[in-house]
C-alpha cells in the first residue's frame, strides 16, 4: 500500500484551492435515490469515499457519471428505478456514511436491507438514532445477522423526531427519509452544521419543502415526488482548516481560495490566539506566520459553530512545537486521541487522560516512521512532518485518500517536500 514521505523544514507559500466537502457530497449522492430524474452535483471532490459510495449506488440502480463540466468536477447520478434494495456488508463496511442509503430506499421503494456499517475506529458511533428516526416515520425495523431490514409498504408518515443528543448523521438521515413522507416532519435537537444547510438547499432544488436546517429545529413538509436538479457542493471546511493549520505550522503565507471563511471561524480565532495571522477574504482566508514560535492554546471540541472534532488532531500537531502547555478536550467522539502515540514517535510530549490531552511544546520534532489511524488523524502526522527534522514516512494513507483530494499536489505547490511512495496494491479496508 502507498505511503507518504515528508522532508521537514520548508515553509509554505502559495495558493491552495479548497475542494468540495466530502461530508456533504456523500449525503447529496444518497439523495439521488429519491428521484427518477438526474441529479447533477458540481464542485465534487474525487475521493475514495465518494468512489465507495458510487459503487454502492450503482448496485442499487444508480448510474454514476464523473466528468469535468463547465463548473469544474461534476458527478451526474440517475436512478430511473431502484433495481435493488440490498446494500451488502462488503460495500457498506468501507464507509459508515453509506448506511444513509437506508432512508432514501425506504422512502422511495418501501423497503430495504442494509448492512450495519463499519468505518473509522473512533468510538462506537451507533446508528440507534438513525433507526429511531425511521421508526418514528412509520418504518418497521428488524435487525438480523448484522443487517437492518426496514419496511414501509404504505409509505412513510410525517412525525415529530426528538433526538436525545445532537447527531449530524442521524439528522441528515431523517431529512433524506422525510422529504417523501406523507405529512409534516419536525426534527428537534437537530445538528446545525453547514452540511445540513447544503443538504436542505439540494433537496429543495429537487422540489422538497425543507426549512430550518442550520438551527436546532428542522421542518419538512413531505411531497409526492422529487425531480432532478443541479447543485454545487459546499466547500470543505475541514480541508480548509487543515491547510490553515499546515500554514501556521510550517510558516510562510498561504492563500486558501474557493472557500468560505465563516466555516472555520472557531479555528481562525484559535490560530490568531496562538500567534498566527489570519486574514479573511471574500473566497477564503490568508494564513501567515513569520517564523516566530507559536503560543500554546487550550481548546474544546463542540458541535458547529464550535471547534470541529475533525480538526482536533491537526491542532494537536500544531501545539506539539508551541511555547507552553495546551489542553485539548474532546467532547464529540470517545477514542479520538489515537494519533497522540504516533505524534509522540516524532518527539511530541503528549499525555492523554480520558477525554483530555495535555500537549507540552518541544523545540524540535524528529522525523520517523508513523502510521495513520483514521481519516482526520492521519493528516495530523503530515502536518507534524512539515517541521520535523529529517524525513517522516506515513503509512496506511488510504485513510488520507478517503478525505483529502490531491494532498501531495496541493502542499507541494506551496513548497512542501512531500511525495507519495507507491505500494504493491490496494489495502484491504
Residue 2 among known ligand-binding residues: no
Grid coordinates belonging to 78: 440517475
Is 126 annotated to bind a ligand? Reply is yes
128: annotated binding-site residue? yes
- All residues at 6 or more sequence positions from 86 whose CB lies less than 8 Å from its CB, including other chains: 59, 60, 112, 113, 114
96 annotated among ligand-binding-site residues: yes
Length of the chain: 429
Cell numbers 493549520: residue? 245
φ, ψ of residue 348 in degrees (nearest 5): -70, 150
Q: Is 120 a catalytic site residue?
A: yes
Q: Is 122 annotated as a binding residue?
A: no
Q: How far is CA 120 from CA 57, 117, 123, 302, 381, in A?
A: 21, 10, 8, 19, 17
**In the Cβ-directed half-sphere of 341, how many Cα atoms lie within 13 Å?**
7
Cis check: omega of the bond before 334, within 30 degrees of 0 = no
Is 125 marked as a binding-site residue? yes
- Map grid coordinates 490566539 to a residue: 273
- State yes or no: 376 annotated in a binding site: no
Quickly list DSSP for 304-354. TTSB-GGGHHHHHHHHTTSBSEEEEE--S-TT--THHHHHHHTT-EEEEET
Q: How many angstroms separate the CA atoms of 318 and 380, rounded?
A: 8
Catalytic residue among 120, 192, 202, 414: 120
User: Does the annotation place 68 within a ligand binding site?
Assistant: no
Q: Is 88 annotated as a binding residue?
A: no
Residue keyed to cell 503528549:
350
Q: Is 71 annotated as a binding residue?
A: no
Q: Which segments are annotated as binding site for UDP-N-acetyl-alpha-D-glucosamine?
A: 96, 125-129, 310, 332
Q: Which segments are annotated as binding site for phosphoenolpyruvate?
A: 22-23
Q: Which segments are annotated as binding site?
A: 22-23, 96, 125-129, 310, 332
Just list the catalytic residues.
120
Amino acid at each position: 500500500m502507498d505511503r507518504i514521505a515528508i522532508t521537514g523544514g520548508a515553509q509554505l507559500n502559495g495558493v491552495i484551492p479548497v475542494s468540495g466537502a466530502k461530508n456533504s457530497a456523500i449525503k447529496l449522492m444518497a439523495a439521488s435515490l429519491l428521484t427518477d430524474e438526474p441529479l447533477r452535483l458540481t464542485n465534487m471532490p474525487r475521493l475514495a469515499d465518494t468512489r465507495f459510495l458510487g459503487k454502492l449506488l450503482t448496485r442499487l440502480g444508480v448510474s454514476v457519471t464523473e466528468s469535468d463540466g463547465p463548473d469544474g468536477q461534476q458527478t451526474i447520478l440517475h436512478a430511473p428505478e431502484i433495481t435493488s434494495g440490498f446494500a451488502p456488508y462488503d460495500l457498506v463496511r468501507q464507509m459508515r456514511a453509506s448506511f444513509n442509503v437506508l432512508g432514501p430506499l425506504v422512502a422511495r421503494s418501501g423497503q430495504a436491507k442494509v448492512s450495519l456499517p463499519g468505518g473509522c475506529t473512533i468510538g462506537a458511533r451507533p446508528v440507534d438514532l438513525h433507526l429511531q428516526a425511521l421508526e418514528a416515520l412509520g418504518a418497521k425495523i428488524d435487525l438480523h445477522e448484522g443487517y437492518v431490514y426496514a419496511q414501509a409498504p404504505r409509505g412513510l408518515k410525517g412525525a415529530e423526531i426528538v433526538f436525545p443528543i445532537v447527531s449530524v448523521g442521524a439528522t441528515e438521515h431523517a431529512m433524506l427519509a422525510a422529504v417523501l413522507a406523507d405529512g409534516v416532519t419536525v426534527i428537534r435537537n437537530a445538528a446545525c452544521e453547514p452540511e445540513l444547510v447544503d443538504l436542505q438547499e439540494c433537496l429543495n432544488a429537487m422540489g422538497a419543502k425543507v426549512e430550518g436546517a442550520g438551527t436546532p429545529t428542522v421542518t419538512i413538509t413531505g411531497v409526492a415526488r422529487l425531480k432532478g436538479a443541479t447543485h454545487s457542493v459546499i466547500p470543505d471546511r475541514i480541508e480548509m482548516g487543515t491547510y490553515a493549520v499546515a500554514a501556521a505550522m510550517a510558516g510562510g503565507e498561504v492563500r486558501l481560495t474557493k472557500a468560505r471563511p465563516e466555516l472555520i471561524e472557531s479555528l481562525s480565532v484559535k490560530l490568531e490566539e496562538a500567534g498566527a495571522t489570519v486574514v479573511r477574504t471574500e473566497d477564503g482566508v490568508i494564513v501567515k506566520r513569520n517564523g516566530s514560535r507559536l503560543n500554546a492554546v487550550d481548546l474544546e471540541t463542540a458541535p458547529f459553530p464550535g471547534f470541529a472534532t475533525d480538526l482536533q488532531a491537526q491542532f494537536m500537531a500544531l501545539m506539539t512545537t508551541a511555547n507552553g502547555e495546551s489542553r485539548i478536550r474532546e467532547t464529540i467522539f470517545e477514542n479520538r486521541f489515537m494519533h497522540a502515540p504516533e505524534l509522540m514517535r516524532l518527539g511530541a510530549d503528549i499525555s492523554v487522560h480520558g477525554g483530555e490531552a495535555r500537549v507540552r511544546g518541544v523545540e524540535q520534532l524528529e522525523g520517523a516512521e508513523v502510521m495513520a489511524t483514521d481519516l482526520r488523524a492521519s493528516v495530523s502526522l503530515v502536518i507534524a512532518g512539515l517541521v520535523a527534522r529529517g524525513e517522516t514516512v506515513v503509512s496506511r494513507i488510504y485513510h488520507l485518500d478517503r478525505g483529502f483530494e490531491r494532498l501531495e499536489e496541493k502542499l507541494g505547490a506551496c513548497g512542501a517536500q512531500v511525495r507519495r511512495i507507491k505500494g504493491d496494491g490496494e489495502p484491504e479496508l
